[in-house]
Amino acid sequence: MNTKMIIGGLVILVGIVLGTINFLDSNVEYGDFADARRIQKKIQVKGEWVRDRESSFNTEKIQFTFYLKDDSGEISKVVLDGGRPNNFDLAASVVVKGKYSGDYFHATEILTKCPSKYEGRTGVMKKQS
């Protein structure tokens, strides 16, 4: 009976530790590129894709590279692990999650905010066809 209680206690303890680690990893604060360089941990940066700067996909490393202008106006190179998101060209704004690595922001995830399908016509919101 004592062995069962010890094993049960260990299982509960491992569950609590794993849950805490998962929570802390998913709890990522917003900031700009200056914040990302300063704190050197995972952060979310919201901004706008700089379309007139080069963007490319490296097939060997499976990385998409582009430039992002954050809300404070700073432009930085972003390297995303993975391919270019399908709706990237339509994005009104972009949120990248990651941290600085040398002279670029190394993103592990990207979220795109596309323009709304709804727009106001004569004061009423109507869905475009």
Rounded to whole angstroms, how far apart are CA atoms 68 and 83? 16
More confident site: 89 or 105: 105
Residues counted in the chain? 129
- In Å, how far from its chain's centre is CA 80? 9
Residues with Cβ within 8 Å of 104's Cβ and at least 6 positions away in sequence, in order, are 76, 77, 78, 79
What tokens does 95 get?
């949120």
The reported pTM is: 0.69
pLDDT at 119: 52
Ordered domains of the chain (ranges, CATH): 29-120 (2.40.50.140)
Euclidean distance between CA atoms 118 and 58, whole angstroms:
36
User: Please, are residues 76 and 85 in contact by the beta-carbon 8 Å criterion?
Assistant: no
pLDDT range class, residue 120, cuts 50, 70, 90:
low
Q: For residues 13 and 129, which has the higher predicted lDDT (pLDDT)?
A: 13
Residue 79 near residue 107 (C-beta atoms within 8 A): yes
Quote the tokens at residue 57. 């996909």
pLDDT in tens, 21-69: 777 666 668 899 999 999 888 999 999 999 999 999 999 999 999 999 9
**Where do we find the tokens 């109507």?**
126
